[in-house]
Amino acid sequence: NKYSFANSNPATDVGNLPVATYGGGGFSSSTHGILSGGRAPPGFQQNNKWSFSSDGNATILSISPFEYGGYWHSVSSPDTGFDIGGSRNLADPTTPPISPSGRNSRITKFVFASEVSSNAGVALTSGRAFGSGAASATHGYSVGGSTGTGPVVSTNIIEKFAFTATSGTATDVGDLTTPTLDGNKGNSSSEKGYSTGGGTPTIVNTIQSFPFASDSSSTDGGDLVAAARDHSGSNSTTKGYVSGGI
């Protein structure tokens, strides 16, 4: 679906994915939207892309993701998309060993010009999935998420990594105001990152923001109209949007 930032008209259906998919990540280049990985039972899905200039169905890219998987959170720089953490498919031979928590700390990158996926080299400080992402002009941010496989433990961590980093680990820059949060989603302005909704496990309607200019914890920036979890986030140049979810 697509909707206009210029008005409040309902969204319109512009096409379909080749296969029904959930749990994937999302990137935006200047010309295309990209769905990265995700679950398409009984297995995992390849990357898909669709054009912004014309309505139509998505196409499966000829080059698969660096590793099949999903439940990661994604951010974009002008020329590259990044998948952060998530759960990887053990059946895929390119998948590295999963951490004992069942979550992965790896950050992979997808170059828009070449449509090639690879290991970014930099990693989270611990394995996490189901968090949210935000992006400044120079850094990607990983916000919240969960660790563990039973019971699952939610986190309040805010970490950042430079888009140009090729080794090392992300930097812990602060915490969300809500002690535990997963299923939250992210938005970005030119100055701040935002985390909206999520579960604690109670589904909440909070909007939390943190600055890009300094490393610090989030502050409460308001409330959504309704509590939401596992929704999606998008941005115009002046506003953030959330859609769908539970």
The residue ranking higher by pLDDT, 223 or 23, is 223
Predicted confidence band at 198 (pLDDT cuts at 50, 70, 90)? very high
Which tens digit of pLDDT belongs to each residue from 20-78? 988 889 999 999 999 988 887 766 677 899 999 999 999 988 666 555 678 899 999 99
Q: Give dist(CA 87, CA 7) in Å, integer.
A: 37
pTM score, whole prediction: 0.92
Q: What pLDDT sits at residue 97? A: 47
Quote helix, strand, coil % in the chain, to nearest 5.
Answer: 0, 45, 55
- Quote the distance between the C-alpha of residue 149 and its chain's center: 20
**How do beta strands 106-111 and 219-223 pair?**
unpaired
Q: Give dist(CA 49, CA 184) in Å, integer.
A: 24
The structure tokens listed for 174 are 């602060």
Report whether pLDDT(208) > 80: yes
Which H/E stretch holds residue 244? none
First to last CA, the chain: 17
Residue 74: how many CA atoms within 13 Å on its side-chain side? Answer: 26
Torsion of CA 128, 66, 195, 235, to 10 degrees: 180
Residues pairing with 32 in the sheet = 51
Q: For the ranges 11-20, 74-83, 140-149, 202-211, which has the lowest average pLDDT? A: 140-149
Q: What pLDDT sits at residue 201? A: 81
Is 44:86 a contact under the CB 8 Å cutoff? no
Report whether pLDDT(197) > 90: yes
Predicted confidence band at 163 (pLDDT cuts at 50, 70, 90)? very high
Which tens digit of pLDDT belongs to each residue from 114-132? 998 888 999 999 888 889 9
Question: Is the four-CA dihedral 98, 177, 210, 197 of positive or negative sign?
Answer: positive
Which tens digit of pLDDT belongs to each residue from 71-107? 899 999 999 999 999 876 555 445 444 454 568 888 9
Q: What pLDDT sits at residue 66? A: 59
* Angle of CA points 196, 81, 190, to nearest 5°: 50
Which H/E stretch holds residue 134? strand 132-135
Q: Give dist(CA 187, CA 115) in Å, integer.
A: 24
Q: Give dist(CA 129, CA 112) in Å, integer.
A: 24
Q: Give dist(CA 217, CA 46) in Å, integer.
A: 35
Is 201:193 a contact under the CB 8 Å cutoff? no
140-156 average pLDDT score? 84
Decide: residue 64, CB within 10 A, 0-12 exposed, 13-18 middle, 19+ buried: middle
**How do beta strands 43-44 and 146-147 pair?**
unpaired
Q: What pLDDT sits at residue 93? A: 45
Q: DSSP letter at 27?
A: E
